[in-house]
Amino acid sequence: MTTSQSDPAGHPADRGDRRPQTLLLLGATGDLAERLLLPGLGRLVATGAHPNLHVLGSGVDVWDDERWRRRVADAFAAAGATGPRVKEVVRTTCYLPADVTKEEDLRRLLSNCHDQLVIFFALPPAITARAAAAFTQIGLPPGTRLMLEKPFGTDAVSARSLNEVLARLVPEEQIYRIDHFLGKSTVMNILGLRFANRIFEPMLSAAHVACVDIVFDETLGLAGRAGYYDGAGALIDMVQSHLLQVLALIAMDAPPTLDARDLRGRKAQVLRATRVWAEDPATWSRRGRYTAGEANGQRLPGYADEPGVDPSRGTETFAELVLCVDTWRWAGVPFRLRTGKGLAARRKEAVVTFKQPPRVPSGLIGYDQPDRLRIGFGPDRLGLDVNINGPGNPLELSQVHLVADFGPGDLPPYGEVLRGAFDGDPTLSVRGDTAEDCWRIVAPVLECWRAGAVPLREYPAGSWGPEDSLLTPVPGMATEG
Ligand code: BG6
């Protein structure tokens, strides 16, 4: 990635430098920080590329520095992050308890930050909005960068009003709306695959593609995350954010460069043209919730019986919807998005299914499946299903699956997105208008579900999902148990 020259509004970008930086982590004692953020940070620090970094943790819990340092040290160690820089960050990090919705607490936090400031809001959307509003009352040091965890708002209206509040704090190019899928090396590999090869790109259009499936099936259940997940559900947790970002990378036109303005501009164009298929969410969406069962050898209680879940909310653990991308290139091609928890197998991939050849010459026998291009997001691999002559009769076709592993990235996704913010490069973050557009795309589905127009189906944990699922498993698909 190159550092952006300017944001969409033409503001000069805040170029990366190595002046001392402070990462102020709000929500530091939470699950996100422990499981993902701190491990990603540890790996980034271990690279030695950010030598003057100070980390200040803050949360409502009354912890002292020693307890916090243990948390940081454990998370760094679990991520395999070692070396002098890592030790130094652990030694110098501090913790301050604070209620981030209170101006006096925020003032106290800011008075402890003397370097260039990066603030990570690892907080639920409602608290993020209140904290951002409180910051407008006290102001932020010049050059402060803001990182906001998903979901960004809770609907299009709250996303817009959060954008308005943030715009009063810092310019757009200093706002990093985090979608950690953009930090996954395989997701970014879509760019290399599409635009550094001649053979795929000309085929990726309505002339040749029958449909595109973006699938993220997990065997894992709720994993103790009721506090967050029960208020979100699969559609908001995965589709509104991650899967729409993947769709944008697969469907967008080639950007002239990979800088923030070009790449995010291309993604924004394609998402602006995306809507529910036939504008009929009642027909083209499905939702479900797992009941007790066994997924991947793990016994799962029914979602409704998980501690902290309020079953009357009707939160879905499975969501599917079909979208159209109304552009010259894609008109008429269904983009089918699917995700769920507690399913039979891990299946995390985007599959482009090509149309059948106009005519398979008579005499060639056994044609029964179209070609497919697969991009796997764990295992990270590229697959191509093609029809060739099988053994024996040279005129008898059989499908083979060509597979190549994508090289691993040098950082985990959260390390990658943190690097973007430390370096002043917003390429891997979601632009404000795009965040609002992603809500606009799913809004009719949420509305229709809330009105009860699509039943909440139950599926046993360890099954393939609700029986009326729109996407039956594709024959020959790669799955991992
Ligand atoms: C998170 C979702 O953003 O992404 C989780 O909240 C989901 O529900 C996770 O399991 C999947 O991402 P990864 O990186 O674990 O594959």
* Substitution site in 177, 214, 225, 237 for ligand 1 pocket (most atoms within 8 Å of beta carbon): 237
Nearest atom in ligand 1 to 220's CA: 10
Residue matched to tokens 């603030």: 119
Which burial class, exposed, middle or buried, applies to 289 when counting CB atoms under 10 A from its CB (0-12, 13-18, 19+)? buried
CATH number of 182-407+432-480: 3.30.360.10
Q: How far apart are CA 288 and CA 470, in angstroms?
A: 12
Q: For 21-177, which CATH superfamily applies? A: NAD(P)-binding Rossmann-like Domain (3.40.50.720)
Tokens encoding 481: 């148990």
Q: Where are the domains of the chain?
A: 21-177, 182-407+432-480
Kindly list the catalytic residues.
242
How far, in Å, from the CA of 245 to the mean position of ligand 1?
Answer: 14
Q: Taking the CB of residue 84, how many other CB atoms lie within 10 A of it? A: 10
Lining ligand 1 with CB less than 6 A are 218, 237, 378
**Averages of pLDDT over each 10 residues, the chain, 481 residues:** 38 54 97 96 95 96 98 98 97 98 97 94 96 97 97 96 98 97 90 95 96 97 94 97 97 96 97 97 98 96 97 98 97 97 96 94 92 93 93 90 91 96 96 98 98 98 95 50 35
pLDDT at 137: 97
Closest CA to 352 of 479, 215, 198, 255: 215
Distance CA 453, CA 319 (A): 14
pLDDT at 8: 37
Q: Which residue's CA is minimally distant from atom 2 of ligand 1?
A: 237
Going 82 to 88 to 92 to 98, the CA torsion angle's sign is: negative
CB atoms < 10 A from the CB of 415, how many? 25
Query: Candidates 177, 180, 290, 480: which one to mutate for ligand 1, based on the most atoms within 8 Å of Cβ?
Result: 180
Alpha-carbon span 344 to 464, nearest angstrom = 5
pTM recorded for the entire structure: 0.93
Q: In sequence order, which residues have a C-beta less than 8 Å from that of residue 19 and are 6 or more positions away?
A: 52, 115, 116
pLDDT for res 472? 65
- Residue 471 burial (CB count, 10 A): 19
List for the chain the helix, strand, coil content (%; round to 5): 35, 25, 40
Per-residue pLDDT, 473: 53
